[in-house]
């Protein structure tokens, strides 16, 4: 087969066992802590054939080679832990809260200097690059929904001698491929869109740099941040439908963003797919779509926003994102959320249900929030 398969085909066909008569069409769940002596793996903390199948599929989507981890945060921590003491990390001031807590910890312990930037302000990021060891890009940002000029930032960072990592969780490789744009790392919380069913926690790192991959495998082995074989199997099963799930979720998100823009209980909608969004032109210039996260600021402040979330009947009131079900939450119910994120901001992870049913529920909940 040609190597030029499209992503919709790759998600279905990658990571399959070799064809043999009566052979498995799906990878086996390899439940083993140890293996017969004489091979390159030897022990279950060093490798597992079910991880390999999943890693092969993610590599086919992102490019490069992939190392899977027990969680997205374990993957992020593995990247940061490779930096020598005294390194400078330039990162988005709006990022996943766990990432921000890791960065704050590195700064507080004196292990690293962290420069926080508005990742959508290209000039500001470039000005912070001299002396930077690692530029950490999350785009679109969680939950600010700012979009970074990833192609320009990667070029500038490389010219300044900095490594670049992109947290590609929100966009997925269906919308942008950081390694093709020159990034050293593309990271996923596999928990979210790749696995897609809110039933497991996993992470991954893809890279074109074999030496970096070797160091990450070693870090996984020695930190013990290894995924369970069953989780890896489920994640690969989830990837089979990634393209259709994402297509539907994204279409639903666009429709909801438009309707929410006219809703009397909404002050502001943040979704780069809206032509009026400040990040629309940037997103359009290099992304293949706008994703399925919509953030709204609810009239009446945090209390009204909480009331809306608690009033939904179909839409799940919970944290996390990227599953088949629509769910929402007010982000500042977490004390670790960035202070510059508005207190009335609700993040909606749009699922694949009928958009009319989602809309009817969100509309009634928002109306209750204003009563």
Ligand X SMILES: *Cc1c(COP(=O)(O)O)cnc(C)c1O
Q: Which of 30, 48, 142, 311 binds ligand X (CB under 6 A)?
A: 142
Residue of 167, 184, 277, 306 marked catalytic: 167
Measured from the CB atom, is 91 or 309 closer to ligand X?
A: 91
Q: Which stretch binds ligand X (CB under 6 A): 111-119, 186-194, 235-243, 277-285?
A: 186-194
| Cα angle 289-148-298, degrees, rounded to a multiple of 5 | 75
Measured from the CB atom, is 191 or 250 closer to ligand X?
A: 191
Q: Is 237 a catalytic residue?
A: no
What is the nearest approach in angstroms of ligand X to the Cβ of residue 93?
14
Q: Which of 120, 169, 172, 349 binds ligand X (CB under 6 A)?
A: 169
Please name the residues in contact with 227: beta carbons below 8 A apart, sequence gap of 6 or more.
Answer: 51, 68, 69, 70, 202, 235
The C-alpha atoms of residue 147 and residue 176 are separated, in whole angstroms, by 12
What is the nearest approach in angstroms of ligand X to the Cβ of residue 72?
2
| Tokens encoding 224 | 């013990």
Q: Which of 30, 172, 189, 206 binds ligand X (CB under 6 A)?
A: 189
Q: CB burial class (10 A; 0-12, 13-18, 19+) of residue 85?
A: exposed
Measured from the CB atom, is 188 or 263 closer to ligand X?
A: 188
Q: Are the C-beta atoms of 359 and 260 separated by less than 8 Å?
A: no
The C-alpha atoms of residue 87 and residue 91 are separated, in whole angstroms, by 13
Q: Is 167 a catalytic residue?
A: yes
Q: Which of 54, 73, 88, 145 binds ligand X (CB under 6 A)?
A: 73
Residue reference for tokens 């990162």: 91
Q: Is 45 a catalytic residue?
A: yes
Binding pattern for the stretch 305-344 against ligand X, x by CB under 6 A and - elsewhere: ----------------------------------------
Q: Which of 44, 98, 182, 300 binds ligand X (CB under 6 A)?
A: 98
The C-alpha atoms of residue 248 and residue 75 are separated, in whole angstroms, by 28
> Is residue 167 involved in binding ligand X (CB under 6 A)?
yes
Residue of 16, 45, 111, 268 marked catalytic: 45
Q: Are the C-beta atoms of 41 and 225 separated by less than 8 Å?
A: no
Binding pattern for the stretch 245-284 against ligand X, x by CB under 6 A and - elsewhere: ----------------------------------------
Which residue is at the shortest CB distance from ligand X? 72
Q: Which stretch binds ligand X (CB under 6 A): 55-63, 95-103, 213-221, 296-304?
A: 95-103
Positions marked catalytic:
45, 96, 167, 192
Point out which residues bind ligand X (CB under 6 A).
Answer: 71-73, 96, 98-99, 138, 142, 167, 169-170, 189, 191-192, 201, 203
């Amino acid at each position: 087969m040609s190597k030029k398969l499209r992503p919709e085909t790759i998600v279905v066909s990658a990571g399959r066992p070799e064809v043999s008569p009566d052979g498995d069409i799906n990878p086996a769940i390899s439940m083993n802590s140890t293996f017969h002596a004489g091979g390159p793996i030897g022990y279950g903390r060093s490798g597992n054939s079910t991880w390999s199948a999943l890693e092969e599929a993610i590599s086919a989507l992102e490019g490069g080679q992939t190392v899977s981890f027990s969680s997205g945060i374990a993957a992020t921590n593995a990247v940061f832990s490779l930096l020598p003491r005294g390194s400078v990390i330039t990162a988005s001031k709006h990022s996943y809260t766990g990432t921000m807590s890791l960065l704050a910890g590195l700064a507080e312990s004196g292990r690293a200097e962290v420069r926080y930037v508005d990742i959508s302000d290209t000039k500001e990021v470039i000005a912070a690059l001299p002396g930077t060891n690692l530029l950490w890009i999350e785009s679109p940002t969680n939950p600010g929904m700012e979009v970074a000029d990833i192609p320009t930032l990667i070029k500038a960072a490389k010219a300044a001698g900095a490594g670049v990592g992109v947290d590609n969780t929100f966009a997925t490789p269906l919308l942008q491929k950081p390694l093709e744009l020159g990034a050293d790392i593309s990271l996923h919380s596999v928990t979210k869109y790749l696995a897609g069913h809110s039933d497991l926690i996993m992470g991954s790192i893809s890279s074109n740099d074999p030496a970096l991959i070797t160091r990450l495998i070693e870090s996984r082995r020695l930190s013990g941040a290894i995924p369970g074989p069953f989780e890896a199997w489920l994640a690969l099963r989830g990837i089979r439908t990634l393209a259709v799930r994402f297509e539907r979720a994204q279409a639903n998100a666009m429709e909801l963003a438009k309707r929410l823009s006219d809703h009397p209980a909404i002050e502001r909608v943040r979704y780069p797919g809206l032509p009026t969004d400040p990040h629309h032109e940037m997103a359009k210039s290099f992304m293949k779509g706008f994703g399925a996260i919509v953030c709204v600021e609810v009239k009446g402040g945090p209390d009204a926003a909480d009331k809306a979330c608690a009033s939904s009947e179909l839409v799940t009131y919970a944290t996390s994102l990227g599953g088949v079900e629509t769910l929402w939450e007010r982000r500042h119910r977490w004390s670790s959320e960035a202070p510059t994120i508005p207190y009335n901001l609700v993040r909606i992870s749009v699922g694949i249900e009928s958009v009319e049913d989602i809309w009817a529920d969100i509309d009634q909940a928002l109306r209750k929030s204003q009563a």
